Amino acid sequence: MSWSKKLFNILLITSLLFSILEIVFPELYSMVFGLEKQPRGIAGVYITSFFGARTSYAQFLLFFIFHHYSYKKEFGITSRNKLLLYLAFVLLIFAFSRKEFLFGLVFLFYFSEFRFKTKTQKYFAAVVVLGIVLISGYFYYTTFFSITNENTFSDGYSRVRLLLSAYEIIIDKFPFGSGPGTFGSQMSLNNTSIYEAYSVPEDLVYGWGDVPGPIYDIFLISFFVEYGIGLLFILMFFFKLSNRSFRNESHKKVIDFLLLYIISISFISPALMNWNGYLLLSFIGLLTSRKSFT
């Protein structure tokens, strides 16, 4: 077993123990770890484990699934590790993080392995699995995220307001953008001329008290605002990764999914600028290497 696989197994089991404590003693757990609960989950209960945030925990679980599935495709998998893979999916459900859960569902459908004699049977099974995924996803989102969804799809939601401001700037500054360090970056906090010219609300830029502003939440959109068609160079880099030769061709499907995940989630979060993006890109590097990642 690879050292990374052992490490992730230990982290998963440890996180499960913390999650059990969090479920059994939610108020005490929040008080001890200083967590601010949000209106989601089952009766306001969701798991963060020792990660301190449900999103961070969900990202770890999703990465665990990516890693173990890739290992399974190359070396096979034991019954114990298959059980851990299923456990990660269950914990992902109870982390109640919408983006990660959505990609978990897509992963389930995309990597479903059908073994049938005819194409008709295979397509029928695919339709059944897709139906189950869509129905379960709809039930999950409408049942446990009703309040959160109302806020998300309203005009007052921070990302919606950011997108509206970004759209206005993109239209005016296309094709070369507003320039480096002018929107959605750390430098832009010291160069606020674009924010002032387009009346970007201060709470989006500076936040609320000790809570930082969500100005970094739409990374690739912000990059497009600053560099315009320069965004194509980043997308070309990902395209090149997808089209190179691989040590193990079974990894290509995994890498394509990871690239889709990173690009998609980077439009609504700073995924390329945090630990999650670093791990995912490093993992892609290992998969594209001609050396084994064991």
* Euclidean distance between CA atoms 36 and 88, whole angstroms: 24
pLDDT in tens, 55-67: 888 888 988 888 8
140 and 195 in a single domain? The answer is: no
Domain boundary among 208, 233, 258: 233
Phi and psi for 236 in degrees, rounded to 5?
Answer: -65, -35
137 and 9 in a single domain? The answer is: yes
Task: Indicate the helix (H) or strand (E) that contains 172.
Answer: helix 158-173
11 and 80 in a single domain? The answer is: yes
* Euclidean distance between CA atoms 62 and 101, whole angstroms: 8
115 and 24 in a single domain? The answer is: yes
* Euclidean distance between CA atoms 249 and 16, whole angstroms: 33
Asked whether residue 291 is domain-assigned, the answer is no
140 and 36 in a single domain? The answer is: yes
Question: Which amino acid, one-letter code, is at 170?
Answer: I
The answer, as to whether pTM is greater than 0.95, is no
pLDDT in tens, 96-137: 888 888 888 878 777 765 555 566 766 676 677 677 767 776
What is the arithmetic mean of pLDDT over 270-277?
A: 77
- Under 8 Å CB-to-CB from 263, ≥6 apart: which residues? 220, 235, 238
Give the chain's domain count.
Answer: 2
What is the arithmetic mean of pLDDT over 39-51?
A: 76
What is the arithmetic mean of pLDDT over 145-159?
A: 59
Domain boundary among 131, 150, 169: 150
Domain enclosing residue 104, as ranges? 3-150
